[in-house]
Amino acid sequence: MPSVKISASVLNSDLSALGNEVKRISDNGIEYVHFDVMDGEFVENITYGSAVQKSILPHTSAKIDTHLMVMHPGRQVKLFADAGSDIITFHIESECDADALIDEIHSYGVKAGVAVKPNTPAEAVFPYIEKADMVLVMTVEPGYGGQGFIHAMTDKIRKVREEADRLGKDIDIQVDGGINTETAKLVKDAGANVLVAGTFLFKSEDMKKSADSMR
């Protein structure tokens, strides 16, 4: 399994001071800023787009992990690649040709991730494990931060890790939603290694300590 990395979701941070919030992420030794993009169609909520992502780049040395929760990711990937994404993850349930989209993301020199919602089976991402750099197993229903971890998702993580091992691919498996010190242990045991956390990190007194407790 690849090394454990933390990706801090700014969704529930102080968005009126976003530059400062992303600076705290890298200052506390966290590897990624997790940037949740919602379009009001794939999910009901609307967040922020590529222009906002671009504006945070000078304020952080963390890598940018873009999570597209949009119905038409094909319209967004070039914009986000140009706005500094190190990895772009899109949902398999969106309207897209997943194979072609992975190729397009790679053509910009950006890593590609494929995400599944809680009700989508693990098998839906199996065809992309060899080609993608990361699989994101959602551990809450996408749309909002601060929700409770869905325990049944550990089985799905295990299935994806088993299939990756069978294929001999050392892929990153990311989890997103309701991750804290306790649930981090469960998902790591199941085979996840990239842990997204929003509420837990931003509500904690000591972000570095909290991140280290998840590792």
User: Which two three-digit tokens encode residue 27?
Assistant: 């200052």
Active site residues: 36, 176
Residue 205 burial by Cβ neighbours in a 10 Å radius (0-12, 13-18, 19+): exposed
| Cβ-based nearer residue to ligand DX5, 191 or 198 | 198
How many CA atoms does the CB half-sphere of 199 hold within 13 Å? 11
- Which residue's CB atom is positioned nearest to Zn ion? 67
In the complex, minimum distance from the CB of residue 177 to ligand DX5, in angstroms, rounded to a whole number:
4
For residues 140 to 179, the per-residue mask of contacts with Zn ion, x marking binding by CB under 5 A and - elsewhere, is: ------------------------------------x---
Q: To the nearest 10°, the Cα dihedral for 120, 99, 135, 41?
A: -50
Is 12 in contact with 199 (CB distance < 8 Å)? yes
Indicate the burial class of 197 (C-beta count within 10 angstroms; 0-12, 13-18, 19 or more). buried
What is the rounded distance in angstroms from the CA atom of residue 32 to the CA atom of residue 22? Answer: 9
List the x/- string, 66-85, binding to ligand DX5 by CB under 6 A. -x------------------
Q: What are phi and psi of 2, to 5 degrees?
A: -65, 165
Residue with tokens 């933390």: 6
Q: Is 36 a residue that touches Zn ion (CB under 5 A)?
A: yes
- Out of 1, 12, 208, 213, name the contact with ligand DX5 by CB under 6 A: 12
Site string for ligand DX5, 136-175 (x = CB under 6 A): ----x-xx-xxx----------------------------
One of 5, 6, 11, 175 touching ligand DX5 (CB under 6 A): 11
Q: Rank residues 43 and 112 by Cβ distance to ligand DX5 and give the closer one.
A: 43
Query: According to CB under 6 A, which residues from 184 to 213 bind ligand DX5?
Result: 196-200
Determine if 65 is a binding residue for Zn ion (CB under 5 A): no
* Chain contacts with Zn ion (rule: CB under 5 A): 36, 67, 176
